[in-house]
Structure 1
Amino acid sequence: MKLSNMKKFWLSLILASPMLLQMVLMPFHWMMPGYNWIAFITTTMVMLVSAVSYWKSAWAAFKHHNANMNTLVAVGTSVAYFYSLFAMMTGRAVYFESAALVTVFVLLGDALEERMHHSASNALGKLMSLQVKEAEVLSKGQYVKTPLEQVQVGDMIRVRPGEKVPVDGVVTEGVTNINESMVTGESMPVVKKIGDNVIGSTINSDGMIIFRATKVGKDTALSQIVELVRKAQTSHAPIQNLTDRISGIFVPAVLIAAILTFVIWFVFLGAPAVQAMLFAVSVIVIACPCALGLATPTALMVGTGRSAKMGVLIKNGQALEEVNDVKTVVFDKTGTITAGKPVVTDVVGNQEKVLQVAASLEENSEHPLAAAVMAKVSEAKITYQKAKKFKNIEGKGVKAVVNNQKAFVGSDKLSNDYLLSDEMKKQMAKLQNDAKTVVLVGLNEKIIGLIAIQDTPKKTATEAITELRSRGLKTVMLTGDNQRVAQAIGRQVGIDQVIAGVLPNEKADHVKALQQSGKVAFVGDGINDAPALTVANVGIAMGSGTDIAIESGEIILIQNDLLGVVRALDIAKKTFNRIKLNLFWAFIYNLIGIPISAGILVGIGLQLSPELAGLAMAFSSVSVVTSSLLLNRSKIAGDHENDKVTA
Structure 2
Amino acid sequence: MEQSFHIKVEGMTCGNCALSVSRFLEKRGMTDVSANSASGEVNFTAAKEVNIDAIYKGIQDLGYHVVNPGEAADNHHHGHNHATGNLGKLLIICTVFTVPLLFHMFVGHDNILNNAWLQLSLCLPVYGIGVWHFGKSAFRSLKNGIPNMDVLITMGASAAFIYSVIGMFLFKSSMHQYMFFETTATIITFVLLGNYIEERTANATTSSIKELAALQPSMAKVIMKDSIGKETIMQVESKFLKLNDIVAVNDGDNIPADGIVVEGNANVNESMITGESLPVQKADGALVTGGSVMVDGNLRIRTTAIGESTALAEIIRLVQKAQGAKPPLQKLADKISAVFVPTVLVIAILTFCINFFIADVIFSQSLMRSIAVLVIACPCAMGLATPAAVAVGLGRAARNGILIKGGDTLEKLKNITQIVFDKTGTLTTGDLQIQSFKTQDILEEEMKSIVVGLEHYSSHPIAKSILKQWQSIQPISLFDVKEIKGQGMAGRDEAGNLWKIGTAKLAMGVSDQNFDINLFKNDAWVAGIVLEDALRTDAKETMDVLHSMNFKTVLLSGDRKSKVDTLSKTVGIDIFFAEQSPSQKMDHLENLLQTASTAMVGDGINDAPALAKADIGISLSDATKVAIQSANVILSNNRLSSLPKAIKLGRYTYQTIKQNLFWAFFYNVLAIPLAAMGYLSPIWAALIMAFSDVILVLNSLRLNFRKID
- Per the normalisation by structure 1, the TM-score is 0.88
Query: Contact 2:452/2:473 (CA < 8 Å) preserved in 1?
Result: no
Query: Contact 1:5/1:110 (CA < 8 Å) preserved in 2?
Result: no
Alignment of 1:362 with 2:455, yes or no, is: yes
Using the TM superposition, give the Cα deviation of residue 556 of structure 1 relative to its aligned residue in structure 2, in angstroms. Answer: 1.0
Alignment of 1:42 with 2:122, yes or no, is: yes
Query: Contact 2:556/2:580 (CA < 8 Å) preserved in 1?
Result: yes
Task: Name 1:552's counterpart in structure 2.
Answer: 630
- After TM superposition, list the pairs within 5 Å mapping 1:43-82 onto structure 2: 43-82=123-162
Change over 3 Å in CA distance of 1:5–1:39 after alignment to 2: farther
Query: Contact 2:98/2:123 (CA < 8 Å) preserved in 1?
Result: no
Using the TM superposition, give the Cα deviation of residue 623 of structure 1 relative to its aligned residue in structure 2, in angstroms. Answer: 0.6
Report the secondary structure of 2:430's partner residue.
coil
Q: Could you report, residue by residue, the CA deviation over 1:50-86 in whole angstroms, capped at 9, with x for unpaired residues? A: 4423212222333344421111111111112222233
Report the secondary structure of 2:693's partner residue.
helix
Alignment of 1:245 with 2:330, yes or no, is: no
Query: Contact 2:481/2:492 (CA < 8 Å) preserved in 1?
Result: yes
- After TM superposition, list the pairs within 5 Å mapping 1:15-414 onto structure 2: 15-17=94-96, 19-20=98-99, 23=102, 26=105, 33-35=112-114, 36-89=116-169, 90=172, 91-93=175-177, 94-115=179-200, 119-140=204-225, 141-346=231-436, 353-378=446-471, 381-384=472-475, 388-393=479-484, 396-401=487-492, 406=497, 408-411=499-502, 413=504
Change over 3 Å in CA distance of 1:153–1:270 after alignment to 2: same
Using the TM superposition, give the Cα deviation of residue 101 of structure 1 relative to its aligned residue in structure 2, in angstroms. Answer: 2.5
Alignment of 1:531 with 2:609, yes or no, is: yes
Using the TM superposition, give the Cα deviation of residue 487 of structure 1 relative to its aligned residue in structure 2, in angstroms. Answer: 1.4
Change over 3 Å in CA distance of 1:30–1:534 after alignment to 2: farther
Using the TM superposition, give the Cα deviation of residue 190 of structure 1 relative to its aligned residue in structure 2, in angstroms. Answer: 0.9
Report the secondary structure of 1:205's partner residue.
strand
Q: Counterpart amino acid of 2:391?
A: M
Query: Contact 2:608/2:627 (CA < 8 Å) preserved in 1?
Result: yes
Query: Contact 1:15/1:42 (CA < 8 Å) preserved in 2?
Result: no
Q: Could you report, residue by residue, the CA deviation over 1:278-334 in whole angstroms, capped at 9, with x for unpaired residues? A: 322222212111110100001110000100111111111221111121122111111
Using the TM superposition, give the Cα deviation of residue 112 of structure 1 relative to its aligned residue in structure 2, in angstroms. Answer: 4.3
Unaligned runs of 5+ in 2: 1-77, 226-230
| Aligned mates of 1:544, 1:336 — CA distance in 2 | 9
Query: Contact 2:297/2:486 (CA < 8 Å) preserved in 1?
Result: no
| Aligned mates of 2:327, 2:488 — CA distance in 1 | 52
Alignment of 1:457 with 2:535, yes or no, is: yes
Q: Counterpart amino acid of 1:608?
A: L
Using the TM superposition, give the Cα deviation of residue 462 of structure 1 relative to its aligned residue in structure 2, in angstroms. Answer: 1.2
Q: Could you report, residue by residue, the CA deviation over 1:238-272 in whole angstroms, capped at 9, with x for unpaired residues? A: 14321111111111211221222222222211122
| Aligned mates of 1:336, 1:22 — CA distance in 2 | 52
| Aligned mates of 1:307, 1:562 — CA distance in 2 | 14
Q: 1:8 aligns with which of 66, 78, 87?
A: 87
Change over 3 Å in CA distance of 1:446–1:233 after alignment to 2: closer
Report the secondary structure of 1:176's partner residue.
strand
Query: Contact 1:182/1:527 (CA < 8 Å) preserved in 2?
Result: yes
| Aligned mates of 1:541, 1:82 — CA distance in 2 | 50
Change over 3 Å in CA distance of 1:281–1:131 after alignment to 2: same
| Aligned mates of 1:608, 1:390 — CA distance in 2 | 94
| Aligned mates of 2:470, 2:103 — CA distance in 1 | 65
Task: Name 1:642's counterpart in structure 2.
Answer: none
Change over 3 Å in CA distance of 1:588–1:160 after alignment to 2: same
Query: Contact 2:203/2:405 (CA < 8 Å) preserved in 1?
Result: no
| Aligned mates of 1:178, 1:217 — CA distance in 2 | 21
Task: Name 1:645's counterpart in structure 2.
Answer: none
| Aligned mates of 1:373, 1:267 — CA distance in 2 | 92
Bigger RCO of structures 1 and 2 (CA < 8 A, at least 6 apart): 1
Report the secondary structure of 2:536's partner residue.
coil
Q: Could you report, residue by residue, the CA deviation over 1:335-376 in whole angstroms, capped at 9, with x for unpaired residues? A: 111111211234567666544432332234232211211211
Using the TM superposition, give the Cα deviation of residue 99 of structure 1 relative to its aligned residue in structure 2, in angstroms. Answer: 2.0
Change over 3 Å in CA distance of 1:74–1:386 after alignment to 2: farther
Report the secondary structure of 2:558's partner residue.
coil
Report the secondary structure of 1:42's partner residue.
helix
| Aligned mates of 1:448, 1:334 — CA distance in 2 | 29
Q: Counterpart amino acid of 1:336?
A: T
Using the TM superposition, give the Cα deviation of residue 476 of structure 1 relative to its aligned residue in structure 2, in angstroms. Answer: 0.9
| Aligned mates of 1:31, 1:488 — CA distance in 2 | 79
Query: Contact 1:388/1:402 (CA < 8 Å) preserved in 2?
Result: yes
Using the TM superposition, give the Cα deviation of residue 32 of structure 1 relative to its aligned residue in structure 2, in angstroms. Answer: 6.3
| Aligned mates of 2:662, 2:530 — CA distance in 1 | 59
Query: Contact 1:135/1:157 (CA < 8 Å) preserved in 2?
Result: yes
Task: Name 1:566's counterpart in structure 2.
Answer: 644
Change over 3 Å in CA distance of 1:418–1:482 after alignment to 2: closer
Q: Could you report, residue by residue, the CA deviation over 1:595-640 in whole angstroms, capped at 9, with x for unpaired residues? A: 11222xx6xxxx2111001111111111111111111111113xxx
| Aligned mates of 1:31, 1:453 — CA distance in 2 | 82
Query: Contact 1:397/1:408 (CA < 8 Å) preserved in 2?
Result: no
Report the secondary structure of 2:579's partner residue.
coil
Change over 3 Å in CA distance of 1:360–1:416 after alignment to 2: closer
Using the TM superposition, give the Cα deviation of residue 40 of structure 1 relative to its aligned residue in structure 2, in angstroms. Answer: 2.7
- Identity across aligned pairs (percent)? 35
| Aligned mates of 1:460, 1:32 — CA distance in 2 | 62
Question: How many pairs does the alignment contain?
Answer: 616
| Aligned mates of 1:205, 1:31 — CA distance in 2 | 79
Q: Counterpart amino acid of 1:33?
A: I
Change over 3 Å in CA distance of 1:281–1:44 after alignment to 2: same
